[in-house]
Amino acid sequence: MPSVFTWTVRVYYEDTDAGGIVYYANYLKFYERARTEWLRSLGIDQQTLRDRDGAIFVVRSANIDYRASARLDDEVTLTLNVEKLGGASVHFTQQAWRGDTLLSSADVKVGCVDAATMRPRSLPDVAAAKMRAA
């Protein structure tokens, strides 16, 4: 899937550790926000998916490589690319940038599960079609 989605976040005091840099686990939150905003940009509402289709997304795995630090008040641009869209899963590559500096990169696999049973299920047809069209 060729298109890259971008989303920008600002680093707040709450995102930093005692050293004044973004606490490493907060990159997971940043990446989650970018995936959520990507879904919104496609017209996919996660609350509607849960209520109407009984489907929710869960992170199956995340592998993150840290390269540089973001600090308080930095603007961090997050990129998202869909590497593979499966029947019940989506494989993303994501990156966090401050200007031309790569801060971190992540390989994230997200699965679709039934909200009631938490068992894997196929992506809802409408959501899958919108993802493929993107």
| d(C-alpha 52, C-alpha 62), whole Å | 28
Q: What's the rounded Cα separation, in Å, for the pair 112 and 7?
A: 23
Question: Which residues of the chain fall below pLDDT 50?
Answer: 1
Catalytic residue among 15, 17, 74, 107: 17
Amino acid at 35: R
* Residue that the structure tokens 């926000």 belong to: 33
17 is catalytic: yes
Q: For the chain, what are the domain ranges? A: 5-133
Confidence at residue 71, expressed as pLDDT on a 0 to 100 scale: 97
Q: What is the pLDDT of residue 1?
A: 42
**Considering the domain 5-133 in this protein, what is its CATH number?**
3.10.129.10
